Amino acid sequence: MQESDSEDVRLERVLRAAAMANDTVILTTLNSAWAEPGSMVDVFLESFRVGEHTRELLDHLVIVSLDLAAHRRCKQIHPHCLAVATEGVDFSGQKNFMTDGYLRMMWRRIDFLRQVLEKGYSFIFTDTDIVWLRSPLPRLYAEGDFQIACDHFTGDPDDVLGNAPNGGFAYARANTETVELYRYWYAARERHPGLHDQDVLNLIKADRYLAEVGVRIRFLSTEFFGGLCEPSRNLSAVCTMHANCCVGLRRKIADLTLILHDWRSFMSLRGPDKRSASWSVPRNCSLDKVEE
């Protein structure tokens, strides 16, 4: 890769190299705190290797590094890496939830995802604190411009008011509607200062303007896209598990590692034993705990 090329040129090159036949890519963002050996990115990539029909998806994963240390590590462990800088901002350290650095990092991500859509690429965005246990592609709705996982799912994928979206996993189809959704979402940060992208989305998801734009928002069931807030109870169907409702990098890593252990144990079972399998988490994660 020619680092002297503009970010736009590098973005186009990496997206083209990683895209599926339908111009869809899988994206995650990474900073150096999560990129260190033995840290979050290693657990994340390991899940693709042990999941069902997920190893081949690594060919379509782009790791977007928010600092140079993360980018250097990415190039050691993965073929599709993109460095995205933000002038005057250092994203390298651990960004504790809702600090100023955390908020800047989250909003930089929203603006970047808009750029991907403008280039004509659909994407699945995944946080790095999510393990992929099965391919989620068959569980995405055939209809729905923007589809997003939930901290709480009411059972109705069209329940805009009741479902609690989680921006850690989302699918966006590249079209004018989703580009406008991301533009509107990013601009809304100025109307709601001090809030992160997920809370702002929750505030704007039912806005009349988005209905006028014509973007169809659908919410993904926690049966297939689970997390520590609301774990999937069906190990025979679950696709992804997210270390949401969890504060602290070490606690996230510990419980995601347990999930992979549970998954390996589940995959070794036969017949009726599989139906009674369950998770052993959360064990380390709790919202009332803080990282030492």
CATH at 13: 3.90.550.10
pTM, 2 dp: 0.92
Return the exposure string of 229-240: e unless at least 16 CB atoms fall within 10 Å of the residue's CB, then b: bbbbeebeebbb
Which of 130, 19, 38 minimizes the C-alpha distance to 77?
Answer: 38
Which is it for the CA torsion 221, 226, 229, 235, positive or negative? positive
Domain holding 228, by residue range, is 7-275
223 part of a folded domain: yes
Read off the DSSP letter of residue 24: E
173 part of a folded domain: yes
Residue 157 has which token pair?
Answer: 């994928």
220 part of a folded domain: yes
Distance, in Å, from the CA atom of 113 to the CA atom of 184, rounded to the nearest integer, reads 13
247 part of a folded domain: yes
Burial class (CB in 10 A: 0-12, 13-18, 19+), 67: buried
**Phi-psi label, residue 271: left if phi above 0, alpha if psi -120 to 50, beta otherwise:** left
204 part of a folded domain: yes
Distance, in Å, from the CA atom of 227 to the CA atom of 61, rounded to the nearest integer, reads 21
284 part of a folded domain: no
Q: Give the total number of structural domains in the chain.
A: 1
H/E stretch holding 227 reads strand 225-227
At residue 278, the 3 state secondary structure works out as coil
How many other C-beta atoms are found inside a 10 Å radius of the C-beta of residue 112? 21
Given this model, what pLDDT does residue 86 score? 59
Given this model, what pLDDT does residue 4 score? 55
286 part of a folded domain: no
Maximum distance among all Cα pairs of the chain, rounded to whole angstroms: 57
Let me know: does 100 contact 189? Beta carbons within 8 Å.
Answer: no
Q: Which residues contact 7 (CB under 8 A, 6 or more apart)?
A: 83, 84, 85
288 part of a folded domain: no
Per-residue pLDDT of the chain (292 residues; tens, 9 = 90+): 455 578 889 999 999 999 999 999 999 999 898 999 999 999 999 999 999 999 999 999 999 998 899 999 999 999 999 998 755 444 444 444 445 555 777 778 899 999 999 999 999 999 999 999 999 999 999 999 999 999 999 999 999 999 999 999 999 999 999 999 999 999 999 999 888 899 999 999 999 999 999 999 999 999 999 999 999 999 999 999 999 999 899 999 999 999 999 999 999 998 888 988 999 999 999 654 443 3
